[in-house]
Structure 1
Amino acid sequence: MSKAHRGKGIRTNPNHGRGVCPVCKREQVKTLYDQEVAGVKSKICKTCKAAIKNGKAV
């Protein structure tokens, strides 16, 4: 199974994939998941990705 969102695969991203999630506004979390939020494609954190997938409001 692929491990694209941890370890060696994220070393090429700026700040090793860490930043501020545009959905939940948490700081220094891994923002690795591409998602369209409010018509804009951006990278969000894992918990927001799961919440959007399951139809929960974040």
Structure 2
Amino acid sequence: MSKSKRGKALWNLPSRGRGTCPVCGSKRIKLLYTKTTSSGQPLKVCKKCFNASQERIDAASQAIAN
């Protein structure tokens, strides 16, 4: 089975799917995982932060909004 988080599929994404993670602040990391905030807004995070607590996800979305 093919791996959708690496390879040719990433070439169609802006910046090849890379950016700065809003939760941990890692730069030039792949943001391929979607987490939903308490308000229902989707947020792209890195693989490390995919299992982060909901409080950290909400805090990151508040920091982006401000």
Normalising by structure 1, we get a TM-score of: 0.76
Gaps of 5+ in 1: none
Hey, which of these two has a bigger chunk of strand by percent? 1
The count of aligned residue pairs is: 54
After TM superposition, the score normalised by the length of structure 2 is: 0.68
Report which of the two has the higher share of helix: 2
**Which has the larger Rg?**
2
- Percent identity over the alignment is 39
Per the TM alignment, residue 36 of structure 1 is displaced from its structure 2 partner at its CA by: 1.3
**Structure 2, unaligned runs of 5 or more:** 57-66
RMSD over aligned Cα atoms: 1.8
